[in-house]
Amino acid sequence: MNKEKLKKLSGDIVNRLSKEYPDVKCHLDFRSPFELIVSTVLAAQCTDIRVNIVMVPLYKSKYKSPSEILNDGESNFRENIKSINFFNNKAKAVLSICKTITEKFGGKIPGTMEELTSLAGVGRKSASVVLGNCFGKKDVIIVDTHLKRVATRLGLIENDNPDKIETELKEIIPGKEQFYFSMRIGEHGRQICKAKKPDCAGCFMNDICISAFKC
């Protein structure tokens, strides 16, 4: 599909998603950029529900800043998050993040892609989540498993590499719509365009989706 047709298709998709999911929000519970960046790192290969169950009480009771996690120590933090997948490696990553934030950024979460991705365990996807939800950045694409799956089925992307997917979508999705598009297409992946049993018959985009004809 040429670029002009892709832009037309993406515009239609953006409009439909905005009507269907106007008030979509992050599935991770957070009150600050600090809480969101920690929870985003912990949510890799783990459900948002599990991370919320573990972390929301901890944020309220003892981990209100990077320094409090550092002061508690890696061993205690690891014990507190042991029900989260890959808690050992994630504990090390979170402690490293907290150390860098404290020493390099004065205890405050930085607000640029370059600074955020300089933190251990924080890639472009996690950085985009924080930038969009906490810093009001609209020109970010969150390439998670839902976006990747749904955008592929819709025929918007051809690549499998997250960086290339981000580049592809940035070329056809207007900057002011990119964050909302990411959140809404992710929600669509959770509710309708699921990995194993997509509800093509009940999908509001089945008339423009190249994969719907195969269902």
Which positions are annotated as active-site residues?
125, 144
Q: Which residues contact 99 (CB under 8 A, 6 or more apart)?
A: 66, 70
Distance CA 143, CA 128 (A): 9
**Angle subtended at Cα 189 by Cα 187 and Cα 177, rounded to the nearest 5 degrees:** 50
Instruction: Give the chain's largest Cα–Cα span.
Output: 56
Residue 139, burial from CB neighbour count under 10 angstroms (0-12, 13-18, 19+): middle
Distance CA 129, CA 178 (A): 12
